[in-house]
């Protein structure tokens, strides 16, 4: 006796096995126990799970056949006739209705149809009654994890015996199963989504030149020095020019020095104060929490000298010790335009931060300003301004 049969028969001994309703609950409990065992063992493949369910179904069919009464056949064989082939008897309407209701209850799991009952030999029913037979209870392949009242617990968690995987199963007469297994919609959707993602990734990789060599990518003409553009950012390695390395022959025009702080305007939430250390005098500016900038005046006389010229502005600055920061620079030169927005990474070493402006050949009607935000990230960091100057590019 195999483990499946033993478990079912042990359950029969704890109730009335002659009661068909009790047997059906035992069969359902057996399927529920098998389902729990399969879910608890993720290593079981789909094929093995199907075989185990069909093995349970075949064993239930075999056990239930023992409780079926003998059924009268139709037609008696004569002495000279050979044994007639087995005759398939129709199921009574009550059993068919019950089987159909149970099948609909487990339709989500595609239950297997009940096997037909075959009578071993032909028999002639009495005239008072039509031929009748009983059908086996239809038990869904997959049952919910539930406990049935009055039914002892059945343990199907133990691994099958070496021959269980190859147990003979009943023929599957469900046309949907005969046509072969169908992939779940979720697996199909995931597969299509994965293929689409791979295709899109390859397309964008080709568009962005991932598969091109450096020589193929470098098709642009030689670039000139950066010109003034909005929100232009210069990498840290190119932001500053060490003092003394510039063109010492240039004729610099002073725009700001700490000795004349009256030319500086600070909003209410910003600070600007003149300080001095071994490096010299400087103006320490700190933008407010709102990101407000400190303005430095550019005199009208200075702008008149720059009208129609190509000029280079030079901001000599450093950050607080141990607090590297990013500054932003904006200009307003009135009728002569602006310089766009510039961004620089400023370290603690005193360096020059340069930008060029081409001025139109107009007469300025008023003075201009250069606004500096000491901390583009709004973390309250300060910058020391030593000097702001400008020179005309020859």
**What are the pLDDT digits (tens) for 60-104?**
999 999 888 765 554 454 444 444 344 333 334 334 434 443 433
Report the relative pairing of strands 118-119 and 325-332 from DSSP bridges. unpaired
Q: What does the alpha-carbon distance between residue 289 and residue 261 come to, in Å, rounded to a whole number?
A: 22
Chain mean pLDDT for the chain: 73
pLDDT per residue as tens digits for the range 328-342 = 999 999 999 999 999
Q: What does the alpha-carbon distance between residue 256 and residue 389 come to, in Å, rounded to a whole number?
A: 7
- Enclosing H/E stretch for 5: helix 3-12
Task: Please say if the pLDDT value at position 9 is more than 70.
Answer: yes
Residue 324 dihedral angles phi and psi, to the nearest 5°: -65, 140
What local confidence, expressed as pLDDT, does residue 317 receive?
A: 95
What local confidence, expressed as pLDDT, does residue 154 receive?
A: 61
DSSP character at residue 288: -
What local confidence, expressed as pLDDT, does residue 217 receive?
A: 63
What local confidence, expressed as pLDDT, does residue 222 receive?
A: 53
Q: Is the dihedral of CA 36, 42, 46, 50 positive or negative?
A: negative
What local confidence, expressed as pLDDT, does residue 155 receive?
A: 58
What local confidence, expressed as pLDDT, does residue 17 receive?
A: 87
What local confidence, expressed as pLDDT, does residue 346 receive?
A: 94
What local confidence, expressed as pLDDT, does residue 224 receive?
A: 46
Q: State the average pLDDT over residues 217-235.
A: 51
Look at residue 183 and give its three-state secondary structure.
coil
Residue 202 dihedral angles phi and psi, to the nearest 5°: -65, -40
pLDDT per residue as tens digits for the range 259-282 = 888 889 988 888 999 999 998 999
What local confidence, expressed as pLDDT, does residue 92 receive?
A: 40
Task: List b or e across 191-214, with b for residues whose CB sees 16 or more CB atoms inside 10 angstroms.
Answer: eeeeeeeeeeeeeeeeeeeeeeee
What local confidence, expressed as pLDDT, does residue 216 receive?
A: 65
Q: Lowest-confidence range among 113-122, 330-339, 346-355, 385-394?
A: 113-122
Q: Please tell me the total number of residues recorded for the chain in this structure.
A: 394
Q: Which residues pair with 356 in a beta bridge?
A: 312
DSSP character at residue 335: G
DSSP character at residue 172: -
pLDDT over 70 percentage in the chain: 61
pLDDT per residue as tens digits for the range 305-319 = 999 999 999 999 999
Q: What does the alpha-carbon distance between residue 130 and residue 73 come to, in Å, rounded to a whole number?
A: 10
pLDDT per residue as tens digits for the range 161-196 = 444 444 343 444 444 554 555 567 888 988 999 999
pLDDT per residue as tens digits for the range 117-153 = 333 444 444 444 444 444 444 444 434 334 445 555 5
Q: 380: pLDDT confidence band, cut at 50, 70 and 90?
A: confident
């Amino acid at each position: 006796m195999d483990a499946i049969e033993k478990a079912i028969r042990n359950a029969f001994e704890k109730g009335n096995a002659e009661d068909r309703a009790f047997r059906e609950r035992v069969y359902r409990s057996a399927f529920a126990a098998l389902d729990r065992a399969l879910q608890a063992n993720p290593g079981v493949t789909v094929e093995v799970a199907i075989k185990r369910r069909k093995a349970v179904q075949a064993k239930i069919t075999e056990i239930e056949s023992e409780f079926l009464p003998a059924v009268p056949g139709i037609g008696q064989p004569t002495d000279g006739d050979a044994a007639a082939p087995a005759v398939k008897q129709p199921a009574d309407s009550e059993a068919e209705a019950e089987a159909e209701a149970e099948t609909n209850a487990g339709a989500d799991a595609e239950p297997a149809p009940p096997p037909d009952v075959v009578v071993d030999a032909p028999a002639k029913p009495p005239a008072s009654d039509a031929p009748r037979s009983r059908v086996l209870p239809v038990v869904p392949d997959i049952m919910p994890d539930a406990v049935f009242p009055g039914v002892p617990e059945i343990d199907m968690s133990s691994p099958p015996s070496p021959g269980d995987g190859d147990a003979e199963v009943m023929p599957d007469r469900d046309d949907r199963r005969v046509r072969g297994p169908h992939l779940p919609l979720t697996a199909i959707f995931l597969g299509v989504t994965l293929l689409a993602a791979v295709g899109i990734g390859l397309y964008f990789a080709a568009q962005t030149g991932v598969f091109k060599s450096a020589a193929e990518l470098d098709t642009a003409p030689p670039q000139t020095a950066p010109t003034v553009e909005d929100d232009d950012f210069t990498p840290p390695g190119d932001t500053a020019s060490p003092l003394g390395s510039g063109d010492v022959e240039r004729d610099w025009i002073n725009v700001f020095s700490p000795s004349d702080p009256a030319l500086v305007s600070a909003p209410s939430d910003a600070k600007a104060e003149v300080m001095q250390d071994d490096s010299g005098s400087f103006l320490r500016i700190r933008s407010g929490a709102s990101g407000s900038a400190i303005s430095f005046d550019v005199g009208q006389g200075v702008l008149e000298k720059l009208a129609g010229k190509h000029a280079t502005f030079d901001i000599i600055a450093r950050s607080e010790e141990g607090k590297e920061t990013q500054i932003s620079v904006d200009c307003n030169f009135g009728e002569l335009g602006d310089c766009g927005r510039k961004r620089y990474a400023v370290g603690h070493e005193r360096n020059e931060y340069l930008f060029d402006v081409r001025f139109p050949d107009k007469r300025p009607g008023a003075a201009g300003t250069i606004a500096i935000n000491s901390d583009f990230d709004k973390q309250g960091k300060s910058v020391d301004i030593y000097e702001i100057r400008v020179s005309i590019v020859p």
